[in-house]
Structure 1
Amino acid sequence: MITPDQKKEDKTTLIVTSTPDPEGLSFLNEYVTRVMPMLLNAGGVVVKRTEVTRVFHGDRQFTYLLVMDFPSDESLNNLFESEAYQQLIKIREKGFVNMNILYGRDL
């Protein structure tokens, strides 16, 4: 859990961009249903979940965007390297045509 006194540089922002596979919506739903509790249990706080509805400039390279704050890179690394998450990778791959999982820091 992120605390108010935590230094800005210690926090990690998770950015996930994705495009669903229309043929794999049941896998998408299973992945999201299983991964969201894992993200929250790892100390994540949802900042924004959104669907891209319009592109003003550039190319639409994804459909969904998830932004979450975490206490550290380590909390995310522990989650993504866990056996429980590793078991979700095949489900993830069947539910999305693409997904990018990025870490960021506040400027």
Structure 2
Amino acid sequence: MSSHVVVFATPRVGAEENARKYSEGVQPLLAAAGIKPSFRGPVVEVVAGGPAPKTVMVLDFPDAASASASFRQEAYQQLVALRGKGFEQMEIYIVE
């Protein structure tokens, strides 16, 4: 069963360089796995909840196990510190 990774992200003001480096580091990992965003866009209106992230992205994976494994790999783990420094909000969910 295919799975999706849904990402809610808001870069930290003043730490845009860290956010950029994190994003640039993730791109080759996704490319190596053959994963491309199926959707990426800004939040234009909050209907319920909040605060809204700046960007929402959806990645499609063959299954939940492969999605989960992509975040456990050493190359991704090395980017986690940049993620924490570069983003005010970063929520990552695996959904089926």
Q: How much identity, in percent, do the aligned residues show?
A: 32
Following TM superposition, the consecutive aligned residue runs of length 4 or more in structure 1 with deviations greater than 3 angstroms are none
TM-score, normalised on structure 1?
Answer: 0.80
Alpha-carbon distance between aligned partners in 2 of 1:17 and 1:39, rounded to the nearest angstrom: 17
Alpha-carbon distance between aligned partners in 2 of 1:83 and 1:13, rounded to the nearest angstrom: 21
Where structure 2 has 5 or more consecutive residues not aligned to the other structure, the ranges are none
* Equivalent position to 2:56, from 60, 65, 84: 65
Tell me the equivalent position of 1:91: 82
* Equivalent position to 2:70, from 74, 79, 90: 79
Where structure 1 has 5 or more consecutive residues not aligned to the other structure, the ranges are 1-9
Paired residues in the alignment total 95
Alpha-carbon distance between aligned partners in 1 of 2:69 and 2:23, rounded to the nearest angstrom: 18
The residue correspondences of 1:36-47 to structure 2 (distance < 5 A) are 36-47=27-38
Structure 1 residue 76, shift from structure 2 partner: 1.8
Supply the AA of the counterpart residue of 1:68: L
Cα contact 2:43–2:52 (8 A) shared by 1: no
TM-score, normalised on structure 2?
Answer: 0.89
1:75 to 1:43, Cα distance in 2 relative to 1, 3 A: farther
Tell me the equivalent position of 1:12: 3
Supply the AA of the counterpart residue of 2:37: V
Supply the AA of the counterpart residue of 1:86: Q
The residue correspondences of 1:20-59 to structure 2 (distance < 5 A) are 20-55=11-46, 57-58=47-48, 59=50
Alpha-carbon distance between aligned partners in 2 of 1:52 and 1:16, rounded to the nearest angstrom: 12
Structure possessing the higher radius of gyration over alpha carbons: 1
